[in-house]
Structure 1
Amino acid sequence: MATDFDLYGTDTPAPVAAGQGAEKEPGLVYGSAEEFLHEQLLPTYVRSVTVKSAKWCIEWYFHPEAVSRVAALWRSWEHLRLDPKTGMSVWWKDHADHHMRVLLDPQGPFYNCDMKEHRYPEHLEPKKAPAGWFPDVRALQA
């Protein structure tokens, strides 16, 4: 009998190799961060998005921070869905709630966009630190 969790790929057992009894590495439910965003994250993480309370950009993929956070959400979901005890709770508490709060923050990565139009954000401009402050650790490993 299927549970509600089965509908969302959260109760998927790891496949067993035929005749071996050994567990194989389970496959991914979603093939990309974008597929995960459209099919899992946004349909389940429903919020009121207004200019004052939250911001979203319909062209979210033009925001490197958003892409990185959505990819992190996807990968952590793929890993934690395999924990039948507290995996989803951990994912919501430690990953979804954290990253979505940052993504939707009016001062977050979509601060310059509105629901209908993407506007490229202004990037922070760093100044190089004085020589020697941040040595290349790769050279120390050699």
Structure 2
Amino acid sequence: MPEPMPDDLLADDGWVPGEPLDGAETGGHGTGAELAYPNLDAWVRGHLAPLIRRRLGGTLTWCAQWWKHPEAVSRLNALWQEWEKARIEGTMSAWWLHHADPHLHALMNRDTGVFAACKPDRHTELDPLPVAESDPNLWLGPAFSDPSSEGEG
């Protein structure tokens, strides 16, 4: 059983572990069909990991503790949601081309991927992107603010 991810490492993508997908999370294409997998971990273990077979160690790597990487959780969750949708709609080719291939590259690329510091049997934490405090006045223009909040303040 994987150890739970600390709250400060959870990706802020709106997904809650174990929360089922609904029409809003599948692009509004909810059909009421049963999900093939009850949660992300079940999908990764039961479908993705057995399906994806790559020679690791050259240009590709993986982290067996993928759930400790917030970006990986967010990307894999997106892949699972789109896979469930493609399975129902019969659009699996589009899933491979437009979802699986780019996300797997972003996850597994040994030099630039999410798991770049890891080996299949060793998890290594990376620091988040550095962020400096910005001037709040930069975000006052209409392109950078919520128009519905105008007049508030």
Match of 1:81 among 87, 92, 100: 87
Match of 1:39 among 46, 64, 70: 46
Q: Secondary structure at the match of 1:82?
A: helix
RMSD value over aligned CA atoms?
Answer: 1.8
Q: Taking structure 1 as reference, are residues 114 and 80 closer, same or farther at Cα in structure 2, changes over 3 Å only?
A: same
CA distance in 2, matches of 1:140, 1:75: 35
- Give runs of ≥4 in structure 1 deviating > 3 Å: none
Identity of aligned residues (%): 30
Q: Determine which of 67, 77, 91 is the counterpart of 2:73.
A: 67
Query: Which segment drifts farther, 124-133 or 69-78?
Result: 124-133
- Per the normalisation by structure 2, the TM-score is 0.69
Unaligned runs of 5+ in 2: 1-30
Larger radius of gyration: 1
* Counterpart amino acid of residue 56 in structure 2: V
Is the CA contact 1:33–1:71 (under 8 Å) kept in the aligned structure 2? yes
SS at match of 2:88: coil
- TM-score normalized by structure 1? 0.74
Structure 1 distance, partners of 2:149, 2:132, is 23
- Return the match for 2:61 from 55, 59, 65: 55
Structure 1 133/91 Cα, relative in aligned 2: closer, same or farther at 3 Å? same
